Amino acid sequence: MKTKRIMDRTSNVHRLKLASYNSRGSALDHRIYIKRLLADYDLVLVQETWLFDWELHKLSDDENVTVIGVSGMDPQKPVLGRPYGGCALLF
């Protein structure tokens, strides 16, 4: 009886590592934590950035990191109380 060799398909597979983080703002300690996540994960999903669209770059000071996101706040309306919403994808 002849046996077939089955190729191990997982040997050439890259496992995508994701992290999700509800930052509740973008204070310095939150950005430091995001930087640590980026060192260990391929994609970092961030919720509650509390940033306007033009401020999303503040989530990473590394020029090799891409930041894509959207604000939860309407720039045409004044912010009453604390900022809110927003999400971003960093890789």
State pLDDT tens for residues 64-81. 999 999 999 999 999 888
**Predicted pLDDT at 54:** 95
Per-residue model confidence as pLDDT tens for the chain (91 residues)? 555 555 556 666 789 999 999 999 889 999 999 999 999 999 999 999 999 999 999 999 999 999 999 999 999 999 888 889 999 999 9
The whole-number pLDDT of residue 57 equals 94
User: In whole angstroms, what is the distance from residue 24 CA to residue 22 CA?
Assistant: 6
CA pair distance 58, 68, nearest whole angstrom? 12
Burial category of 54 from C-beta neighbours within 10 Å (exposed 0-12, middle 13-18, buried 19 and up): exposed
In a 3-state reduction of DSSP, which class is residue 47? strand
- Using a 10 angstrom Cβ sphere, with 0-12 exposed, 13-18 middle and 19 or more buried, the burial of residue 57 is middle
